[in-house]
Amino acid sequence: MIEPTEPTAPRLTLKEIKANPKIMTMIDGANELLNSMGYTEHGHRHVGIVSGITKHIMEKLGMPEREIELAQIAAYLHDIGNVINRHDHPISGAGLAFTLLNEMGMPMEEIAPILGAIGNHEELAGTPISVMSAAVIVADKSDVHRSRVQNPMMETFDIHDRVNYAVTKSRVEMDEETKTIQLVLEIDTHFASVMEYFEIFLSRMVMCRKASKLFGYNFSLVTNGTSLE
């Protein structure tokens, strides 16, 4: 006699994550909180772009399809902790993500690596712990662009507003033969200098280099056609 087997639960998808009303509200709330504090955009635009770049990196590395989707989910949820406070938002965000994903029926073996990626995406206290984590880090730190500026009054821009506004184009390029990953920026120096970019982003670029090494790549920054290793 063949014993009946339990039906396999359907895998939770990125599409379902994006459509979840609680997640949508938390991302909106996180961006509203940071906007009130004078931060650049951390809402649906940002997490969507980070999720897309994460997918690009994971695909280039030849990762399995399900791991790619889990990495995208981690990227989409990485900043929800900001709905509570900017301070320690990776840790609070991981806690919120566990509650949401568990409630949506994701198995713990898929939740666990997502929590690690969310909890380690910031340069002050985090570190790349897996390919997924490293991909999210590089993707997150690569999203610098004038469309992130939320301050409508240019005369009151701080250095973060000026630097983001100065970046007119930003993209991540990977070369599988040379094992290099580049963040390619076009900066309008009328609004901010390349040195100002380094003033606020140096620690982030160092973390990108560390993350890239985890999956066997060298990281470099290309600004206005000049490569900085």
Q: Is 85 helix (H, G, I), strand (E, B) or coil?
A: coil
H or E element that contains 168: strand 167-175
- Residue 73 within a domain: yes
- Residue 196 within a domain: yes
Q: How far apart are CA 152 and CA 64, in angstroms?
A: 42
Q: What is the CATH number of the domain that holds 190?
A: 1.10.3210
Residue 225 sits at the vertex; the CA angle it makes with 187 and 139, to the nearest 5 degrees, is 65
- Residue 127 within a domain: yes
| Cα-based distances in Å from 93 to 30, 96, 153, 167, 177 | 10, 5, 31, 28, 36
- Residue 24 within a domain: yes
* CA-wise closest residue to 68 among 54, 79, 53: 54
- Residue 7 within a domain: no
Structural domains counted in the chain: 1
User: Which pLDDT score, from 0 to 100, does residue 9 have?
Assistant: 62
- Residue 39 within a domain: yes
Query: What percentage of the chain carries pLDDT values higher than 70?
Result: 96
User: Any residues with CB less than 8 A from the CB of 32 and at least 6 apart, and which?
Assistant: none
Q: Reply yes or no on whether the pLDDT at 73 is more than 80.
A: yes
pTM of the model: 0.93
Count of CB atoms situated within 10 Å of the CB of 69:
20
Q: pLDDT for 40-69, tens place per residue?
A: 999 999 999 999 999 999 999 999 999 999
- Residue 5 within a domain: no
- Residue 8 within a domain: no
Q: pLDDT for 174-200, tens place per residue?
A: 999 999 999 999 999 999 998 898 888
Domain that holds residue 116: 14-149+157-228
